[in-house]
Structure 1
Amino acid sequence: MKDQPSPLRETDDDARKLARVLLRSARHAAIAVLDPETGFPFASRVLIATDIDGTPVILVSQLSAHTRALAKDLRASLLTGEPGKGDPLAYPRLTTQCVAEPVERGNAFYERIRTRFLARHTKAKLYIDFPDFLFFRLKPEKASLNGGFGRAYQLDGNDLIIQSAANEEIAAGATEAVRDLVERHPDVEESLAIRLEAPKSGSWRICGIDPSGFDMISSDFLLRYEFETLAVDVDHICSNISKIAYSIP
């Protein structure tokens, strides 16, 4: 028998960028874990945010079935990517295989994760500090990208992570930097929404920055923009954002 051609394409920078956007622009995801009693896959839905290095973060109740499963086996998969009109299989989606890392309240970066999560999910403030809720960072190990019919790629976990020495410094100054940017340019978020052709959904706001780009949110919509090159500090990020908002098309 002749060898069948591989359905996989060679992974290039465009595929990596699409995968990162699919992961970082998700407000929620399907999560698959292993049922500790039966060993069967168990799927559920979780809210999702990202840490400063792009690692996906979930907030879960210890009473939920998927949390109990993660307590026994830290392996999990996330499915991100929203379908639109027509055939749902024609739209890009990303399956990311992860190893879950619980984030204890005393952890050095717990507050950072809490702040970034609430910036996306403001209603989570109602329960985020309940004692039975906890965060997991889901460290990507590898990923499968389907960019639409005939566009399949395999990625390494590092393709999804922001490899920057500036991560911690940017995380420390992110909230203040965005606040100062908006104070200096009150129309910057509206201008960004127009320039990026964001869906019409009321007011948009910047809900997260990192060396690789920024996130904007409005109601149920989340928009991710990736820079061409990594930013070296918060001033660099704010400069990039201003150029995008106000430069001539």
Structure 2
Amino acid sequence: MSAEAVKNARLLLLKEYRGVLSTHSLAMPGFPFGSVVPYCLNQDGWPLILISRIAQHTRNLKADPRCSLLVSERDAADVQLNGRLTLMAEARQLADPQSVASAAERYYRYFPESRDYHRVHDFDFWVLHPLRWRFIGGFGAIHWLEQAALANPFAGAEGGEGAMLEHMNDDHAAAIAHYVEQAGLPGTDDARMVGIDAEGFHLRIGQAIHWLPFPSACSTAMDVRQALVAMARS
């Protein structure tokens, strides 16, 4: 298994925030059923989704949890030459209150409008537990990947991701605006930092999610601080 392919597959999963979820159809047995779902990654680096109990894909998953999630590079000029990832997984609904609360706190940062869906309509959190990956990094760059190391070292840690996000959003709006301008993204006024991982961070601008890389990978909170300061000064 190529270490470079694993890295690129992880980066693609981080850069995107929606994919095509394919489930086993109940209405037409033997046929796959595809639907578009937004996702963010939980602390294990696995896709976290929020889906309605009455949706067809939810009914399908309750009958057979085996599924796949297809993620591809957005705005690709030639889809055959750009990266795409098919994640084969087992979907598991979160049930215990602590897991649901943790999932909600993370998911709402990325998709704040979903609070009403969850509260008013019958939506539940599900996690896609990866079994195998099919990553295509371009023409001829095809890889089967087994269990890849995807965990976020800062998620859930005391003084980790949550504290860093709060600090940046409350005290360093100017730095965030600079990151947005530096990356050539639209809308500096409403940009908020919603996620931090070892390789970079997520910004929410309007209803779009953008992932920006650090100059180099970070393993500690101090590394993250130094990377953010360096990017703010560049």
Residues 178 and 238, structure 1, Cα contact 8 Å, conserved in 2:
no
| Paired AA for residue 162 in structure 1 | A
Q: Which of 105, 114, 120 matches 2:110?
A: 120
| Post-superposition offset of 1:43 | 0.7
1:245/1:109 Cα in 2 relative to 1: closer, same or farther (>3 Å)?
A: farther
CA shift in 2, pair 1:74/1:25, >3 Å: same
Q: Which moved more, 1:75-84 or 1:92-101?
A: 75-84
The reply to whether residue 99 of structure 1 matches residue 100 of structure 2 is no
Distance 1:215 1:83, change over 3 A: closer
SS at match of 1:89: coil
The offset of 1:245, in angstroms, is: 2.5
CA shift for structure 1 position 30: 0.4
C-alpha distance in 2, partners of 1:179/1:78? 31
Query: Which string of whole-angstrom CA distances, capped at 9 and with x for unpartnered residues, describes residues 42-93 of structure 1?
Result: 1111111111221110000010111011101111111112343643322211
- How far residue 95 of structure 1 moved from its aligned partner, in angstroms, is 0.7
CA-based RMSD of the aligned residues comes to: 2.4
Correspondence for 1:200:
186
Mark the CA change 1:60 to 1:85 in structure 2 (over 3 Å): closer, same or farther.
Answer: closer
Q: Does 1:137 find its partner at 2:127? A: yes
| Alignment partner of 1:188 out of 175, 198, 206 | 175
SS in structure 2 of the partner of residue 109 of structure 1: helix
Question: What is the rounded CA distance, in whole Å, between the counterparts of 1:187 and 1:231 in structure 2?
Answer: 25
Contact 2:20 2:71 in 1 (8 A): yes
> Which one of 131, 151, 176 corresponds to residue 141 of structure 2?
151
Letter in 1 for 2:225: C
Structure 1 segments unaligned to the other structure (5+ residues): 1-9
Check 1:120–1:66 CA distance in 2 against 1; reply closer, same or farther (3 A cut): same
Number of matched residues? 231
Shift in alpha-carbon separation, 1:198–1:142, aligned structure 2, 3 A: farther
Residues 229-240 of structure 1: matches in 2 within 5 Å?
Answer: 229-233=217-221, 235-240=222-227
> TM-score w.r.t. structure 2 length?
0.86
Asked if the contact 1:182/1:188 (under 8 Å) is kept, the reply is: no
Does the alignment pair 1:44 with 2:31?
A: no
3-state SS of paired residue (2:45): coil
Aligned match of 1:245: 232
Task: Give the CA deviation at 1:35.
Answer: 1.5
Cα contact 1:49–1:57 (8 A) shared by 2: yes
Q: Offset of 1:167 from its aligned partner?
A: 4.2
Larger mean Cα displacement after TM superposition, 66-75 or 33-42: 33-42
Gaps of 5+ in 2: none
**1:122 Cα deviation after fit:** 1.9
- Over 3 Å counting, the alpha-carbon distance change for 1:16 and 1:226 in structure 2 is farther
Q: Which residue of 2 aligns with 1:174?
A: 161
Going from structure 1 to structure 2, the CA distance change for 1:29 and 1:190 (only over 3 Å counts) comes to same
Q: Which of residues 31, 34, 44 is equivalent to 2:24?
A: 34
Cα shift at 1:202: 4.4
Does structure 2 retain, via aligned residues, the 8 Å contact 1:198–1:223? Answer: no
Q: Matched residues, percent identical?
A: 24
The DSSP-based 3-state class of the residue aligned with 1:36 is coil
Matched, 1:64 2:55: yes
Cα distance change, pair 136–40 in 1 and its aligned pair in 2 (3 A): same
- DSSP 3-state at the match of 1:200: coil
Kindly tell me: are residues 184 and 123 of structure 1, through their superposed partners in 2, closer, same or farther at Cα, counting changes over 3 Å? closer
Of 5, 14, 17, 2:7 maps to 17
**Using the alignment, how far apart are the partners of 1:134 and 1:83 within structure 2?**
26
